């Protein structure tokens, strides 16, 4: 226990200074879990899709529409959900979003029994359910990122954001194993019911434990608030009652940093979606791997995510502290982007399968790591409106994810897979050029 006496009158004893509480990191852990849950939920239909297609005699085209319905709902609601978080606070919006997508996740298992209404049909019912599930999940990343901005101080924000995003990697690793096991033991409906139930419990925990701001949480002491605000406890009192103002949309869309983040995220999500969509087929048909080996390497990018993303978050915080936010964020983003582009290009032209796939896996990891810097920068350029900023950036990223499988297939068909991956490496490099417009040290406000 540390006592200070230099400023005390004789005969008086100062009360011991309380150690900072750690509620902020429990909140970050919960957000990471929710990020992983979203990926678990969105991957489940792809994993058990073959069972559903065989049971209900869906054509390949019909199944494609059902699978694609999620992305349609997911892509277009990032901005509205981010705006709601800025207007009404992230706690209620995030809780409502988790509750929403968990209900529709569980409903996927029940839809075949509810779709006996002749005017709708099973295929349409499942597609609408997936669309509405995508609407709910569209809030998770921008609203979760805004909450990280409120709960972590400037010296630890990038690391905390990276922990939040590493939940995606954990979800990507666990989903194939757990979903396959549950479907094998209890049928394809069980993964949807189980993950929906977990989501409902998570929504309750989120609402009962998390607050919009640390100063509103009874478990947070003054010392922790001082760390979060980057000031003394008395100065941090100003964080208690930040006014809820209208989002300045014109100012946001006229800021060069916002456009830099939008372009950079579009170009970074483009190559990473190759790993989500075409990578398994590439491993089997182009690299000649067995299905079991392809499954192993298919999960390897998510392992790289868990390793590199937190490391990059820590590095970004240290760089911002040493050389300033503008140069620090830009330097760590450039380093991750450069490593990803070079390894993606090199791996696609390496003949040895183990060496090539190791390079491609690490390229994906560096892509995730650089993306974490973008998410942190959303809070740097506008803490008050970071939900809207994150929503804008994510919308452009989702458009990159939508374009990726289509353009990749076209290039691979006409010019070969080597050229398709070369183009992905070029897109990665362009994402680095966009950072010339991004200044993390200058806020929108």
Last residue of a domain, one of 164, 193, 228: 228
Asked whether residue 81 is domain-assigned, the answer is: yes
C-alpha 22/C-alpha 183 separation (Å) is 38
Q: Is 323 helix (H, G, I), strand (E, B) or coil?
A: helix
Render pLDDT for 244-286 as a digit per residue (tens, 0 to 9): 567 888 889 999 999 999 999 999 999 988 887 778 778 878 8
Same-domain check for residues 209 and 335: no
Render pLDDT for 400-419 as a digit per residue (tens, 0 to 9): 888 888 888 889 888 988 99
Asked whether residue 241 is domain-assigned, the answer is: no
Please give the pLDDT value at position 116.
59
Please give the pLDDT value at position 282.
82
* Burial track 355-365 (b if 16+ CB lie within 10 A, e otherwise): ebbbbbbbbbb
Same-domain check for residues 220 and 349: no
- Quote the domain boundaries for residue 346: 249-437
Answer yes or no: are the C-beta atoms of 360 and 436 closer than 8 Å.
no
Same-domain check for residues 193 and 290: no
Render pLDDT for 183-226 as a digit per residue (tens, 0 to 9): 889 999 999 999 999 999 999 999 999 998 898 989 888 888 88
Asked whether residue 65 is domain-assigned, the answer is: yes
Give the mean pLDDT of the chain.
Answer: 86
Q: Where are the beta strands (DSSP E) in 59-200?
A: none
DSSP string, 271-334: HHHHHHHTHHHIIIIIS---HHHHHHHHHHHHHHHHHHHHHHHHHHHHHHHHH-HHHHHHHHHH
Same-domain check for residues 79 and 118: yes
Answer yes or no: are the C-beta atoms of 444 and 254 closer than 8 Å.
no
Render pLDDT for 358-378 as a digit per residue (tens, 0 to 9): 999 999 999 999 999 999 999
Same-domain check for residues 304 and 166: no
| Opening angle at CA 172, ends 168 and 176, nearest 5 | 155
Asked whether residue 235 is domain-assigned, the answer is: no
Asked whether residue 15 is domain-assigned, the answer is: no
Residues for the chain: how many in total? 445
Answer yes or no: are the C-beta atoms of 385 and 247 closer than 8 Å.
yes
pLDDT at 318 over 50: yes
Asked whether residue 411 is domain-assigned, the answer is: yes
Confidence of residue 53 (pLDDT cuts 50, 70, 90): confident
Answer yes or no: are the C-beta atoms of 98 and 202 closer than 8 Å.
yes
Last residue of a domain, one of 228, 261, 284: 228
Confidence of residue 384 (pLDDT cuts 50, 70, 90): confident
Confidence of residue 112 (pLDDT cuts 50, 70, 90): confident
C-alpha 3/C-alpha 307 separation (Å) is 40
Asked whether residue 5 is domain-assigned, the answer is: no
C-alpha 240/C-alpha 385 separation (Å) is 16
Q: What value does the mean pLDDT take over residues 319-325?
A: 93
Asked whether residue 17 is domain-assigned, the answer is: no
Same-domain check for residues 318 and 190: no
Please give the pLDDT value at position 290.
80
Same-domain check for residues 216 and 70: yes
The whole-angstrom distance between residue 319's C-alpha and the CA centroid of its chain comes to 22
Same-domain check for residues 275 and 224: no
Count of domains forming the chain: 2
The CATH number that applies at residue 431 is 1.20.1250.20
Last residue of a domain, one of 194, 228, 262: 228
Same-domain check for residues 122 and 212: yes
pLDDT at 227 over 70: yes
Q: What value does the mean pLDDT take over residues 63-74?
A: 80
Same-domain check for residues 158 and 286: no
Give the pTM: 0.80
Same-domain check for residues 193 and 306: no
pLDDT at 43 over 70: yes
Same-domain check for residues 201 and 286: no
Q: What value does the mean pLDDT take over residues 72-93?
A: 88
């Amino acid at each position: 226990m540390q006592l200070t006496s230099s400023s005390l009158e004789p005969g008086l004893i100062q009360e011991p200074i309380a150690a900072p509480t750690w509620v902020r990191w429990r909140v970050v852990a919960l957000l990471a879990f929710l990020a992983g849950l979203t990926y678990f939920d969105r991957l489940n239909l792809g994993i058990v899709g073959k069972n559903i297609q065989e049971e209900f005699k869906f054509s390949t085209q019909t199944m494609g529409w059902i699978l694609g319905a999620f992305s349609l709902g997911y892509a277009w609601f990032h901005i509205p959900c981010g705006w709601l978080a800025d207007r009404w606070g992230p706690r209620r919006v995030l809780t409502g979003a988790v509750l929403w997508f968990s209900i529709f996740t569980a409903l996927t298992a029940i839809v075949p029994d509810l779709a006996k209404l002749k005017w709708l049909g099973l295929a349409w019912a499942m597609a609408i359910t997936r669309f509405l599930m995508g609407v709910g999940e569209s809030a998770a990343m921008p609203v979760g990122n805004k909450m990280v901005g409120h709960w972590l101080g400037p010296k630890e924000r990038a690391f905390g954001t990276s922990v939040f995003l590493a939940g995606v990697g954990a979800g990507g690793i666990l989903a194939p194993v757990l979903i396959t096991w549950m479907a094998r033991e209890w049928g394809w409906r069980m993964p949807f019911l189980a993950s929906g139930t977990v989501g409902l419990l998570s929504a309750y925990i989120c609402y009962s434990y998390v607050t919009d701001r640390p100063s509103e949480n009874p478990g947070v002491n003054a010392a922790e608030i001082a760390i979060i605000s980057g000031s003394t406890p008395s100065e941090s009192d100003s964080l208690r009652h930040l006014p809820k103002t209208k989002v300045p949309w014109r100012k946001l869309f006229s800021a060069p940093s916002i456009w830099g983040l939008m372009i950079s995220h579009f170009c970074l999500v483009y190559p990473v979606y190759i790993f989500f969509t075409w990578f398994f087929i590439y491993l089997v048909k182009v690299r000649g791997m067995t299905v079991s080996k392809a499954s192993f390497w298919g999960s390897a990018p998510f392992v790289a995510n868990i390793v590199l993303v937190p490391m990059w978050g820590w590095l970004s915080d240290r760089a911002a502290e040493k050389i300033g936010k503008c140069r620090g964020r830009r330097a760590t983003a450039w380093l991750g982007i450069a490593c990803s582009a070079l390894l993606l290009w090199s791996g696609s032209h390496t003949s040895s399968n183990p060496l090539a796939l190791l390079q491609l896996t690490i390229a994906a990891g560096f892509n995730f790591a650089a993306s974490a810097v973008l998410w942190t920068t959303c809070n740097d350029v506008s803490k008050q409106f970071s939900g809207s900023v994150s929503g804008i950036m994510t919308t452009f990223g989702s458009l990159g994810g939508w374009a990726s499988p289509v353009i990749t297939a076209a290039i691979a068909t006409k010019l070969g897979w080597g050229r398709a991956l070369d183009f992905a490496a070029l897109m990665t490099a362009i994402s680095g050029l966009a950072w010339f417009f991004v200044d993390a040290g200058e806020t929108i406000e």
